[in-house]
Amino acid sequence: MDRSAAYQKAEQLREEIRRHDHLYYALDMPEIDDAEYDRLYRELVDLEEAFPEIVTPDSPTQRVGGAPLKSFGTVTHRAPLLSLGNAFDDGELVDFDRRVRQAIEDVEYVVEPKIDGLTIVLIYENGRFISGSTRGDGFTGEDITTNLKTIKEIPLRLRHEVPRLEVRGEAYMSRRAFQRLNQEREERGEPFFANPRNAAAGSLRQLDPQVTASRALQVFIYSILYQEDEPAGTQLDVLDRLEQLGFVVNPWRVHCKDIGMVVEACREGLDKRDHLPYEIDGMVVKVNSVDQQERLGSTSKSPRWAIAYKFPAEQAVTRVRDIITRVGRTGVLTPTAVLDPVRVAGSTVSRATLHNEDIVKQKDVRIGDQVVIHKAGDVIPEVVRSLTEKRTGGEVEFVMPSRCPECGSQVVRLEGEAAARCIGSACPAQLREGIIHFASRGAMNIEGLGPAVVAQLTAAGLIHSAADLYYLEAEQLVGLERMGQKSADNLIQAIDHSRENGLAKLLFALGIRFVGERVAKLLAEHYRSLERLQQADYEELKAVPEVGDKIAASIVAYLGDQANRELIERLKEAGVNTEQQVVARTSDSPLAGKTLVLTGTLASFTRKDAQEMIEQRGGRVSSSVSRQTDYVVAGEDPGSKLDKANSLGVAVLDEDQFKALLGR
Ligand code: IVH
């Protein structure tokens, strides 16, 4: 291939990859599976390696490029980036509306969720991303372009060319990503982030873009700060236009004809907040008409046409009854405060994590103390601080036990680590927690095998390792608490199905230190079989993308351990698939050769999981309904696709029927 042919091919691949990025990240409607995407990406990388001169700065391969920076440059914003005034109750919303209506008549509002993240500004020239910054003090911010480029949800090239465009949005971390990041940090004995917002800010203010790239950051874009284009007429038009340009825009926006509707939309926000995958700290109310916004203008700090309705803080005060330690799957002992039950943000809380010994000391939390607790983007609440001024003198300091509370083995704390660990190799807590992890969603995803069942199985001596799961029989399960014949059969079936998950899930499930879901997937893609991975040495492992010293050393240690080798052998004997390509039962599945469209929310799987399972069975997922569609799977709150299916007479499956076709 000559240079110009390579150039053309590369441009074509980039366009295709961009289109799939947009389908996946902005529209949540992927058309191809990960493997197919990876093939396209690989082809582009190979081409760019063969012809380095054809690489463009906006190529999808250039997301993680540069070497670590020495410091961030500064960027002066075109116009000061204002912040919002606050309303703390309905009355303050009504006051805001009164002020607005003193200046203009016939006002309509838009209410949007207020994402609890970090403000970012993105600048595009001729459709290409050229610079990104933080808000800073509103006048100047930090230049974090290289870090922002690593966020896949930020388009490097827009879907339509505009000579110049500047937009504002929020970078954030989902609750799930935050929880995972802190878990990893806990295992490594590193300090945690207090909440997803701090985690997002900390991740973006990294001098090494590789670190930012490893953190699952996301964005929502909500305003146009500057454009060389026809101005939009309303905020709703702005959001539509941003979407058309290829940005990720929050789909939740409520058009309100009057302040009564605004109050209602804000209350609805309060109800919904706990069910969102990310944190919001309020709702933003904006005058819809851009013309009216301009007429209202701004003070030096904030616009007069918008206000933030702030939710009440998710904090509560309660008493620490006791501080116990819980043993995790890696043997780490986590001090946990047992509390007088108290309501925080919609649920009753009776435990709160204290993370480790140092944090207990640093926060000076004692048994008997009154403490402030909050929920940090996490199901497990956290102690914020103790109210030392309320002490009576009877409070007792916490001491980390020297023996494991579950097995009595010695507890040690290695130098340089915050974590204290039980070193018992037969610790029942480690076994139990290890199996809970093995069965969890991102791992082997065994439905019905939650913490309560695992605790019973281990306590009854029915399983001594994850491999034992595959030798269980329904008769052994019947009689366990809340386990009838039907649930026992279902559980055995779920365990049986998990045999086919493939190497990526299995590797994550094994719980090798530092091998999270992503690294497991990269390893599986690289080695394709567990046998090949077992033969790899330290140096070879380090050649795998994103695998550094620590991960490589941990894998070598894990695979070198006799007990782990035996576990792997027994899993293999039990018929657990240790290859990456799932031995797909394509031809005998009723889904083989079929085209499916998914709509609405499914209770038992994410979109991605559902798609994966369909494809493993030889089916295809399409994003739109046509006469060629074989089935439409309709979950809760189905969209217009369901109407379309009905009008075309396409077969519609509910979740149970879908599960039946999957053989689950
Ligand atoms: S509009 C002129 N909309 O909340 C101010 N802000 O002080 C325009 N935020 O840090 C802001 N979600 O970054 C707007 N949907 C949303 C938002 C939002 C989060 C942030 C914003 C700022 C803070 C308000």
Q: Each residue of 72-88: b (16+ CB within 10 Å) or e? A: beebebeeebeebeebe
Number of neighbours of residue 591 by Cβ within 10 angstroms: 23
CATH architecture observed for domain 3-62: Orthogonal Bundle (1.10)
Ligand 1 atom 8: residue of nearest CA? 83
Looking at the chain, which residues constitute the CATH 2.40.50.140 domain(s)?
A: 315-399
> At 584, is the pLDDT very low, low, confident or very high (cuts 50, 70, 90)?
very low
Mutate to test the pocket of ligand 1, among 168, 170, 311 (most ligand atoms within 8 A of CB): 170
The CA distance from 244 to 229, in Å, is: 14
Nearest C-alpha to atom 2 of ligand 1 is from which residue? 82
Side-chain-facing half-sphere of 455: CA atoms under 13 Å? 5
How close is the Cα of 302 to the center of ligand 1, in Å? 10
pLDDT tens digit sequence for 433-492: 999 999 998 899 999 999 999 999 999 999 999 999 999 999 999 989 889 999 999 999
Query: What CA–CA distance (Å, rounded) separates 365 from 371?
Result: 8
HSE value, Cβ hemisphere, 13 Å, CA-based, for 579: 6
Phi, psi dihedrals of residue 130, rounded to the nearest 5°: -115, -25
User: Which DSSP string corresponds to 558-598?
Assistant: HHH-HHHHHHHHHHHHTT---BSS----TTTSTTTT-EEEE
Indicate the pLDDT class of residue 379, thresholds 50, 70 and 90: low
pLDDT band at 186 (very low <50, low <70, confident <90, very high): confident
Strand ordering across the sheet containing 164-173: 128-134, 118-125, 164-173, 217-227
C-alpha span between 141 and 396 (Å, rounded): 47
pLDDT of residue 583: 40
Q: CATH 3.30.470.30 spans which residues of the chain? A: 85-310
| Domain 595-662 annotated CATH 3.40.50.970 | no
If you measure from the C-alpha of residue 118 to the centroid of ligand 1, how many angstroms do you get, rounded to a whole number? Answer: 9
* For residues 513-536, average pLDDT: 91
Residue-wise pLDDT for 43-84, tens only, equals 999 999 999 999 998 899 988 766 778 888 999 999 999 999
Q: What is the pLDDT of residue 380?
A: 67
Domain 85-310 part of CATH 3.90.1150.10: no
pLDDT in tens, 205-254: 988 888 888 899 999 999 999 998 888 999 999 999 999 999 999 999 99
> Which one from 9, 114, 257, 644 is the annotated catalytic residue?
114
CATH of segment(s) 315-399: 2.40.50.140
Atom of ligand 1 nearest to the CA of 169: 13
Q: Residue 587: its pLDDT value, please? A: 61
- List phi, psi (to 5°) of 281: -115, 10
How many other CB atoms are found less than 10 A from the CB of residue 254?
Answer: 18
Which residues of the chain does CATH 1.10.287.610 include? Answer: 3-62
Q: Which residues line ligand 1 (CB under 6 A)?
A: 82-84, 112, 114-115, 119, 170, 222-223, 284, 303, 306, 308
If DSSP codes are grouped into helix, strand and coil, which group holds residue 527? Answer: helix
Q: Where in the chain is the domain with CATH 1.10.150.20?
A: 428-573
The CATH H-level superfamily of 428-573 is: 5' to 3' exonuclease, C-terminal subdomain (1.10.150.20)
**Between 347 and 48, the higher pLDDT residue:** 48
Q: Which of 600, 658, 659 is nearest to 630 (CA)?
A: 658
Per-residue pLDDT band for 377 (boundaries 50, 70, 90) equals low
Active site residue 375: no
Q: Provide the mean pLDDT of the chain.
A: 91
Of 95-109, 113-127, 257-271, 625-639, minimum mean pLDDT range: 625-639
Locate tokens 């209350």: which residue?
Answer: 267
Q: Is the dihedral of CA 149, 152, 153, 159 positive or negative?
A: positive
Main-chain phi, psi angles of 124, to 5 degrees: -120, 140
Averaged over 587-603, what is the pLDDT? Answer: 85
Proportion of the chain above pLDDT 70, given as a percent: 97
Query: What is residue 582's predicted lDDT score, i.e. its pLDDT?
Result: 47
Residue among 591, 587, 572, 579 nearest 529 (CA): 579
**Tens of pLDDT along 136-154?**
989 999 999 999 999 999 9
Pairing of strands 595-599, 631-634: parallel
Residue 163 has pLDDT above 80, yes or no: yes
User: CA dist 135 to 79, 169, 239, 265, 519, Å?
Assistant: 11, 10, 21, 28, 33
For position 32, what pLDDT does the model report? 87
